Structure 1
């Protein structure tokens, strides 16, 4: 965005936007430095039923944010950034990951994107199903890996949806680097929520919709957020009312292996509260690894399982991440096709029943989550919701698009 070139001493729009850190920053700069893992999740800390109930409650008790006039300064607080004061609504933004980028799109702010930290994991194809909703892929692809000070200066965004602690601990930023960008460009405003395993993340976490509400407050789009939240709650209530009883639900194993001919698999645990597995918690599935002593993939645990290990667990449903660019049929033709011909893999119950599926996005925002929950319901309960390769819709695309583009919910 072009800076105000007036020669008066009055503070400019960017002066107000850039002052981000005010209070509530305890522990902000603590933690060790480590590289970003490829695909990770936090260790198990509770059983699936407890996690599901707790998360559902948290989703429906988000913090209240008062909407203010956009022509006066307003303040939004979010850990670990603390209180951020805005003189006017941010017009341009950069996000590290697809979850926060998707939140901005959901609030009708797609035109403001300047770049993203990881374009390879920002899946935008689902926007094609929503009339009037799109994002400029040229901008995304022109700035696909934003994580250096020089890049932040070049883009001059009005707000950065980056957890500042992540920049310190994944990319070796210094505290002075964070302060420099806050002072000279714009504030950081995000919380790493896709997993809950990092030792340095010793401040509060947010559920998907709690974080979404914070972003809505930053953009002054609280009414649009509430319409989106209502659609989500109604959709989830309908799905959950039609699910089979717990005793009849499948056991599920979530793994990562990005090749078409997998030989080993990195395990995840489902019984955690990171947003990357929200759909599985909401659908009440059992974690096939519960009680096995196998921990999930993490920064410090890179263990893999072979087919013999999988056969010992033998889940009803096997989910494999790393194939989100494939269609359901392409995945079945390649990955499932290979496993069906494997001497040991072919013995897996999930392979024999054709219940090996793509495992979903690592970074999912509110639009993503609706589509991924619909897909997961079909993967887990095809008798109720239809086969995943069929285009049966479980929520109203037009209604969703109206909320995103117009802020109106006529559903």
Structure 2
């Protein structure tokens, strides 16, 4: 796996350290959560538990996961060495860019402890991104990650099975999309200290996984003509954008807060003029740290939020009636248990 290159394990890894929830979600699909010994941050797992609660086989308490970040978002280096994981599922260039790691420290850690096995592909990498050890390297898709970790853990059949289910759901939704002219405009973002932070998604590199469900469901990016990446907006600009649908980025982590914000906007002179507020199409959004399980749930969630006439209304987290679900939750449980694999 780039940038580390070829990594050989003489036996399946027994321990690993993760960054955010993406690799943890893959590990959940492979029934390898017991191998997780720590994370850089457990934040995204908090949101993912809304989906895991619908499954019998995936149980994880974020509060019990040891976090390795410091208050200023460096990494607790001595503790990472003490843990001595069989592999570290963090792109070393992420550590070089955002923490006290430098290239010498990466080389030292690999030599003394073990390999890094990850590639920063959630979204477009930051300007000035380091390129240890051999220069520029490609983004990887969700499928490529899942297969790589499946191979490392000797769980290739589970990896292929969860990818097959994920592919079936995504294809089912894509095949039923309305014509582009009938699709709503969508703004993805959140509100902090009176300022809207809006994220474009149509301009993300094609192979990145963080916003893939918006792209695959043909969402019309309401913000793209006003900037690229993250756009900060006051209410006047949001009124100018006036999306048909607003999806609260990371809304999984505070669904009650999203509902309270909608109520406040409904009572606000300007906010109540937004089309998405007037129609009530102001939704909890998913997590960009989506592995194959979370992406499958989030594809269903977004399909219902954007196209209720085709896929049914979105009733809220965990409340989709069985006969309106786009996939069988039991099938995920079977895959995690290793049942019904080819």
Give the TM-score normalised by the residue count of structure 2.
0.88
Q: How far is 1:264 from its partner?
A: 1.7
Structure 2: unaligned runs, 5 residues or longer: 131-135
What does residue range 214-253 of structure 1 map to in structure 2 within 5 Å? 214-253=148-187
Q: Does 1:267 align with 2:267?
A: no
CA distance in 2, matches of 1:409, 1:348: 48
1:271-308 Cα distance to aligned partner (Å, 9 max, x none)? 12331111111111111123x342222xxxxx520111
Q: Does 1:334 align with 2:254?
A: no
The answer on whether the counterparts of 1:100 and 1:161 sit within 8 Å (CA) in structure 2 is yes
* Equivalence for 1:129: 54
The DSSP-based 3-state class of the residue aligned with 2:326 is: coil
CA distance in 1, matches of 2:235, 2:340: 50
CA distance in 1, matches of 2:329, 2:98: 37
The answer on whether the counterparts of 1:350 and 1:356 sit within 8 Å (CA) in structure 2 is yes
* Equivalence for 1:145: 69
Q: How far is 1:332 from its partner?
A: 5.6
Aligned residues: 321
2:117 to 174, 189, 192: 189
* Equivalence for 2:32: 109
Q: How far is 1:144 from its partner?
A: 5.5
Structure 1 residues 332, 188: CA separation in 2 closer, same or farther (over 3 Å shift)? Answer: closer
CA distance in 2, matches of 1:351, 1:293: 21
What does residue range 141-180 of structure 1 map to in structure 2 within 5 Å? 142-143=66-67, 145=69, 147-180=75-108
* Equivalence for 2:274: 348
1:288-333 Cα distance to aligned partner (Å, 9 max, x none)? 123x342222xxxxx5201110111111111222432334xx3563
Q: Does 1:391 align with 2:323?
A: no
CA distance in 2, matches of 1:397, 1:152: 36
CA distance in 1, matches of 2:250, 2:294: 16
Range with greater deviation from structure 2 (233-242 or 193-202): 193-202
CA distance in 2, matches of 1:163, 1:332: 32
Q: Does 1:373 align with 2:282?
A: no
* Equivalence for 2:7: 84
Q: How far is 1:95 from its partner?
A: 0.5
Q: How far is 1:172 from its partner?
A: 2.8
Structure 1 residues 129, 174: CA separation in 2 closer, same or farther (over 3 Å shift)? Answer: same
The DSSP-based 3-state class of the residue aligned with 2:248 is: strand
CA distance in 1, matches of 2:48, 2:163: 21
CA distance in 2, matches of 1:86, 1:346: 57
Q: How far is 1:391 from its partner?
A: 1.6
The DSSP-based 3-state class of the residue aligned with 1:304 is: strand
1:200-221 Cα distance to aligned partner (Å, 9 max, x none)? 1631001111122111111121
The answer on whether the counterparts of 2:18 and 2:89 sit within 8 Å (CA) in structure 1 is yes
Q: How much is the aligned-residue C-alpha RMSD, in angstroms?
A: 1.9
The DSSP-based 3-state class of the residue aligned with 2:69 is: coil
CA distance in 2, matches of 1:293, 1:309: 9
Structure 1 residues 168, 204: CA separation in 2 closer, same or farther (over 3 Å shift)? Answer: same
CA distance in 2, matches of 1:179, 1:148: 17
